[in-house]
Homo-oligomer: A and B are copies of this chain.
Amino acid sequence: MAVTSQQIAELAGVSRGTVDRALHNRGRVNPDVAARILKIAEELGYRPNANGQALVRSRQGMRLGVILQSAETPTMQDVAAGVRQAAGPLENAGVTVDLREVQGRDTGRVLREMDALTQAGAAGLAIASNNTPDLIDRIDWLHDRDVPVVTLNTDAPDSRRICFVGMDNYRAGQTAAGLVKEMLPAGGVVFPIAGHVNNGAHNSRLRGFLDTLDAEGGSIRLLPFQPCFDREDYAHEITQHILRENPSLSCIYITSNGQQGACRAIEEERRRGRVRVVAYDLNEPNRRLLQNGALSFVLDQMAFEQGSRSLQILYQYLVSGRRPERELLYTGILIRTRYNIADELRTEGC
C-alpha cells in the first residue's frame, strides 16, 4: 500500500491540509513544521496519488491551446492525432484542449491564434510554426505573463519556450548520410534536394548530410544541392534535368516534400533500381513509394508522439512546475524500409 498524505499528517501530528501546503510550498505553514513534514515524506518515499490529484483538479478546469501550422499535411495530421489522444485523459483532470489547425505556412494566422487562445484564458500553449522574429517576440511576451509555451515539430531556439519536442534534424541528416554510405559503391554520385532555402529543419537535414559525407565519405561524389520549395512539380523538373545530365547518378536525398515528383521523374527516365531515393516522413504517399520500391529509405520523426508528448509536458509543467529533463526533447529517428512499415504498438495514454 502506497503512503498517503494522511499517514504523513498523523506521523507529523498535523492535519492533511498542513501537509499539503508544506509539500507544495504554498506557504502559511510554520517553517519548523514544514521541515518535519518534508523529512517524513522523504523518509517514507511519499509519491502523491495522481488519480486523487486529477480528480480534485477536475473541479478547477484549465485550458490548453495547441496551434499547428501546415495542418493540411499528413505529418501534421499525425501530430494532431497525437494531441487528441493525449487530450483524452487530460479531460478527466478538467483540462480543455483547444486545437487550432492553421492551413499553410501562415505565420500571421498563428500569431492571431496565439492571441485568441490567451484571450480565451489558455494557461499554456503548444505551437508548431516556422521560426520567425514575430513568433519569438510573442513567445517571450507570453513567458513574461506566465503562459508557458512548448514548441513542437519545429523549434524557436532563441525564444523562451520551455522546451522543444521534435526531430534532431542535423542528426537525421547524418543518419541519411550513413545509409547512403552503406548503400553506394565507391564513386557513387548523390544529388541532394532541399525544400525551402530558409527552412531551418530542411537546412539542418542538409547540413548534417553534407557534413557527414564530406568528413568520412571521401569516395562519394556530391552534386550541388537544389531547392524544390516543397513542390512536387519543381522536384520533378529538377530531378528530370539532373538525371539527363548525370547518367551515373546513383542516389537522391530529399529533405522535404517533393519526393513524389522526384520518383516520377526517375520512373519516366527508366532509372528505377539504379537511382535510390532517401526521403522523410512516413505518410501515406511514402508508404506506397516504399512498397513499390521507388523509395529505399524513409526517415520518420514520430509525429504522433510529438503531439501527445508536448501536451503532456505542458500539463506537467503547469501543475507541478517541473520542467522536462532536457530543453530539447528529441523524438527518435526511425529508419523505414518496405519491410518495417507495418502498424505497430503505439503508446496508449493511461
Question: What is the interface of chain A, defined by CB distance below 8 A to chain B?
Answer: 2, 49-52, 54-55, 58, 89, 91-93, 165, 168, 171-172, 174-175, 177-179, 182-183, 185, 212, 276, 296-297, 302, 305, 309, 312, 329-340, 342, 344-345, 347-350
A334:B334 contact, CB within 8 angstroms? yes
Do B344 and A347 touch across chains, with their CB atoms under 8 A apart? no
For A176, the closest partner residue in chain B by CB is B339
B50 and A55 form a contact (CB under 8 A): no
Complex contacts, A347 vs chain B, CB 8 Å: 347
Using A52-B55, A175-B339 as known contacts, list a sample of 8 further A-B pairs with CB atoms less than 8 Å apart, ordered by residue number in A: A50-B51, A50-B350, A177-B339, A182-B182, A182-B183, A305-B345, A334-B335, A350-B350
Contact A178 B55 (CB under 8 A): no
Is the beta-carbon distance between B333 and A345 smaller than 8 angstroms?
no
Give Cα A305–Cα B348 distance, bound, in whole angstroms: 11
Q: Which residue of B lies closest to A2 (CB)?
A: B91
Inside 8 A of A276's CB, which chain B residues have their CB?
182
Contact B89 A50 (CB under 8 A): yes
Contact assessment for A93 and B51 in the assembled complex, using a CB-CB cutoff below 8 Å? yes
Give the distance in Å from the alpha carbon of A349 to the alpha carbon of B349 in the complex.
7
Complex-state Cα separation, A182 to B251, whole angstroms = 12
Complex Cα gap A345–B55 (Å): 27
Given the interface pairs A296-B182, A312-B350, the reply to whether A92 lies near B345 with Cβ below 8 Å is no
Q: Is the CB of B329 within 8 A of A333?
A: no
Distance, CA A177 to CA B305, complexed state (A):
29
Cβ–Cβ contact B345 & A332, under 8 A: yes
Q: Which B residue sits closest to A350, measured CB to CB?
A: B350
A50/B345 contact (C-beta < 8 A), A182-B183, A337-B175, A337-B335 known: no
Query: Across the interface, which residues of B come within 8 angstroms of A333, CB to CB?
Result: 339-340
Partner of A92, one of B49, B171, B338: B49
